[in-house]
Amino acid sequence: MGTCISPTLATSRWPQLLGRTPVYPFHSTAKALIIKPFLLADIGEGIRECEVIQWFVEPEARVEQFDKLCEVQSDKASVEITSRFDGVIKKLHYDAGQMAEVGKPLVDIDIQSEISPEDEAITTVPAEQAGEPASAQQPQKAVDQPSDIRPNEGASHTQQAEIASKPPRGKHATLATPAVRHLTKELTVDLAQITGTGRDGRVLKDDVHKYATQRDNATRKASQIPSIRSRIENGPQKEEVITLTHIQSQMFKTMTRSLSIPHFLYADEVDLRPLQGFRTRLNTYPTTSQRISILPFIIKAVSLALDDFPLLNARVDSSSEADRPNIVLRSQHNIGIAMDTPQGLIVPNIKNVASKSITSISAELKHLKSLAMSAKLSSADLTGGTITVSNIGSIGGTYVAPVIVSSEVAILGIGKARIVPRYNEKEELIKSEIANFSWSADHRVIDGATMARMAERVRGFVEVPETMFARLQ
């Protein structure tokens, strides 16, 4: 007699009846995505805040590890911040131009990659900084946005049409080359307001010129209205408040500290004609690879003089608990060079000038100038200076009273060179090229005689170049 197997039993016990291990189907769920804040990490030098120069991403942009998020500018240098995760940008906590605080959220990222314990530290806001219990910083579950979001019903059809017709800004909309960024400063144009036509919405030079032309035409039409013009001319005085840039803010703080130092000024006239003649011969020599300005010679002359007067290369240390401050002598001559840039006054320094030739000093000077003009100087370029040279005469001005920074005890300001008649030792009238060398020194530790001897030594090297070359190793 045959065995009757019910359909249910046949379904549930069929693998056992065949002597096989049962295999059950399973279901997988999508990985739970989390939105976490990406904190601005400490970028060194004790910097607590920095300015967001430009964003390379925008909300809903997808990023991968090492993709650039933004560029920030501290009082020392500009730094590009990169992503540590794969994911989608959900929120930018700052607009371009705002100050971002170290340790605070920079962006929110919908993270779609594994998070290591080290990475966890840069996505967790400390409770004392957040101002609320740490539990409030727990990851949030990603919530999909509903697809039936409707535009503002109160908006007119014209406004909605304008919004729909406006081309979307790419994730690189505020990314531009240094030349383009310099052009926007020259034309006083906000880069964020320009719709770029380059790849991924990058702004090109043609985009800047087009935007500036449209703006100027609109301004010209508005100025043709008599009533507005008369109201501007005849109205009361108006004041406009302008926020200092980050570099201006740092200069404000630095100069405020500097003016607490008792300065004294020592100035003298220096004849540049002998050195100019040597420089001209050197630049026309067939084997000369680069044209050398007069500034590298002066920088080298200062370094050679510092060998004889090391006190001018020192700094004052008043932080010790002793009854009196200390003077810290420094072995290397890291000579700072004041530079006028589109961002403002910046003073990078040439490291260890004593070990460099005049040719290498010239090359380093050009390299630092190129970095400064494109806002690419690093913190190392801007820190560690021991004495400063400011060639303000390249712009204009015969006399200058330079200001010392608190980490140095002296600074040299060079005025504009001018051709003047002079009598030589034989009482013959000759043509001279005179520039004023103005020194400022910290009178707390530098006396007038020491400063005068240092200045005389530099003047001797410049006016009799052979003595300088005899000292070169």
Classify residue 296 as left (phi > 0), alpha (psi -120 to 50) or beta: alpha
What is the spatial distance between Cα 432 and Cα 254, in angstroms, rounded to a whole number?
A: 38
Cα dist from 255 to 216, 370, 395, whole Å? 37, 25, 21
What is the spatial distance between Cα 450 and Cα 442, in angstroms, rounded to a whole number?
A: 11
Q: Contact, 91 vs 57, CB < 8 A?
A: no
Q: Contact, 142 vs 339, CB < 8 A?
A: no
Catalytic annotation on 447? yes
Task: Write out the two tokens for 289.
Answer: 């690879």
Q: How many CA atoms lie within 13 A of 11 on its CB side?
A: 3
Per residue in 347-376, is it b (16+ CB within 10 Å) or e — as a string?
bbbbbebbebebeebbbbbeebbebbbbbe
| Closest of 411, 429, 412 to residue 420, by C-alpha | 429
Which residue has tokens 């170290």?
102
User: Catalytic residue among 42, 190, 317, 447, which?
Assistant: 447
User: Catalytic residue among 93, 182, 263, 443, which?
Assistant: 443
What is the spatial distance between Cα 341 and Cα 344, in angstroms, rounded to a whole number?
A: 5
Cα dist from 224 to 187, 210, 213, 231, 235, whole Å? 22, 22, 17, 13, 18
Give the count of beta carbons closer than 10 Å to the beta carbon of residue 83. 21
What is the spatial distance between Cα 433 and Cα 274, in angstroms, rounded to a whole number?
A: 9
Catalytic annotation on 323? no
Q: Contact, 208 vs 196, CB < 8 A?
A: no
Which residue has tokens 């820190």?
383
Task: Write out the two tokens for 160.
Answer: 């909605």
Burial environment of residue 289 by CB neighbours within 10 A (0 to 12, 13 to 18, 19 or more): exposed
| Positions marked active-site | 443, 447
